[in-house]
Structure 1
């Protein structure tokens, strides 16, 4: 932490005032924290300045004025571009990077920030800007645990914090995994409403039924996770063979209705692969082994 905190309250510097960055800075201001803000387009800071934020005329000025530097920009290349001129001001500070990127980029940036004498924490925000700072928001963090623990009371203004490990890339790995599941759900939704629409059923008519069923089906995921972690797939309920037959019928219906099966055909290939390998009576969750290259 910057030694200046012994003589003044902790200052947060927020770099990047897109929709997320403005929400982050607003949450800090709502918590009564001294907040310095910077953005390429100065006008995006006006509302925050009216609420009490201190404008900085450069990223270097924002870093120099801050103890905790929070970055939320387009990508990791932009983070590096902004912090590079401020390298001399980073020592003793904590950088919390809430920019979406890859695990490799997180490792590289963490190493560079640490070389400048600063602590590095990587993060993934699970909230739309309107819900930042509410009970529905949560943030995954990885990297320097001591720095995270020191600043957790401040960071929790953004949403419930979950520290996932000391390796800086872990929050990005978790984020990629969680968002993969989200996009899989969206793919299923698009398939469902397209299929319903072939018979004139409105998306708004089928969606409540879909949400009801998915909410129930999601309760199986922790059990599936346990099976996968143990590598034990015995079951008397949702076997691979049953799901193989069911999904094959769904794809046949989809084709008969004149729709593409591109979204769901890859899943049937996983089922086929496992059944062909002799696992017809195993749990549906065993399909993950085909993604891992196991049979």
Structure 2
């Protein structure tokens, strides 16, 4: 028996994701302890070989590695605040903010915060990406065991990094999907269905993704020479998209927002620079 199959693991929280996590450990041969407020959710896992802990405290003491996956950080604090965490490394895969992750890390336990970039059925496959941040020594101790969940990526010592990457990923996801929906709505006015547009849209998205490394260099240098197109040229195309959308009776809020950001940057003297100069519109708060 190798180290991976020998590592006992505890899973606290048996929603769909928690059940998937526990199932992956069981399938890989880990002694697995589970706990959930509604014990009935553990029945299938227990039938598969898991041990149901009678209390949270018992669950925490059962294994050197405990994974918590519950509704929110308030539930995490409620579950662990009055229990002894000595002897286990706590990995919190509950969705929350970077500030909540850092606060949780200050409670004294060996603690890693994480984010799951996958749906429950993907857990246990390479397609499941698990992001983790916190002390590297705690990650290294359990890296092999965690590998049964999917592709595990360590981001750094700051426990808030996993939550920040999660939020950044969501920003990308919704932005891409909303852009596709905008284009789909436009083409539907000419009788083109979504399935017909989707392959072309994917080509565009893939092409744009190819620009990111070069654009990232510009952002990190803080220099934005117009090697491909100047922002003032892009702004004219944005105006065209707004006009086309309005003429077609399609909601133009998204392209108008994009043009508003560009117009502010141009007014600040950046019209001759390349598109990534808009980073300043995102890092500068305009609230209040």
TM-score tier after normalising by the smaller chain length: over 0.9
Residue 53 (structure 1) aligns with? 50
Whole-Å separation in 2 of the counterparts to 1:190 and 1:102: 28
Pairing 1:160–2:151 present:
yes
1:162 match: secondary structure: strand
Which residue, 225, 238, 248 being the options, matches 1:247?
238
Size of the aligned set, in residue pairs, is: 281
Offset from partner CA, 1:28-77 (integer Å, 9 cap, x none): 11211111111222222122112211112222221121211101111111
1:140 match: secondary structure: strand
Which residue, 95, 98, 104 being the options, matches 1:100?
95
Distance 1:200 1:76, change over 3 A: same
Taking structure 1 as the reference length, what is the TM-score of the superposition?
0.90
Pairing 1:261–2:258 present:
no
Aligned alpha-carbon RMSD (Å): 1.7
Unaligned runs of 5+ in 2: 1-5
Pairing 1:13–2:4 present:
no
Offset from partner CA, 1:5-41 (integer Å, 9 cap, x none): xxxx432110111111111111111211111111222
Kept after mapping to 1: 8 A contact 2:132/2:155 = yes
Whole-Å separation in 1 of the counterparts to 2:166 and 2:115: 6
1:285 match: secondary structure: helix
Whole-Å separation in 1 of the counterparts to 2:229 and 2:126: 35
Which residue, 106, 110, 129 being the options, matches 1:111?
106
Residue 3 (structure 1) aligns with? none
Residue 192 (structure 1) aligns with? 183
1:264 match: secondary structure: helix
Residues 13-52 of structure 1 mapped to structure 2, 5 A cutoff: 13-52=10-49
Residues 145-156 of structure 1 mapped to structure 2, 5 A cutoff: 145-156=136-147
Pairing 1:134–2:112 present:
no
Kept after mapping to 1: 8 A contact 2:7/2:145 = no
Which residue, 75, 80, 86 being the options, matches 1:91?
86
Whole-Å separation in 2 of the counterparts to 1:251 and 1:19: 42
Whole-Å separation in 2 of the counterparts to 1:276 and 1:125: 41
Unaligned runs of 5+ in 1: 1-8
Whole-Å separation in 2 of the counterparts to 1:249 and 1:40: 55
Shift of 1:176: 1.2
Pairing 1:64–2:55 present:
no
Whole-Å separation in 2 of the counterparts to 1:44 and 1:194: 42
1:157 match: secondary structure: helix
Whole-Å separation in 1 of the counterparts to 2:95 and 2:279: 26
Residues 225-244 of structure 1 mapped to structure 2, 5 A cutoff: 225-244=216-235
2:115 match: secondary structure: strand
Whole-Å separation in 1 of the counterparts to 2:161 and 2:119: 22
Kept after mapping to 1: 8 A contact 2:189/2:248 = yes
Which residue, 259, 276, 287 being the options, matches 1:285?
276
Whole-Å separation in 1 of the counterparts to 2:114 and 2:16: 17
Moved over 6 A (4+): none
Whole-Å separation in 2 of the counterparts to 1:13 and 1:94: 10
Residue 77 (structure 2) aligns with? 80
2:148 match: secondary structure: coil
Shift of 1:238: 2.8
Taking structure 2 as the reference length, what is the TM-score of the superposition?
0.92
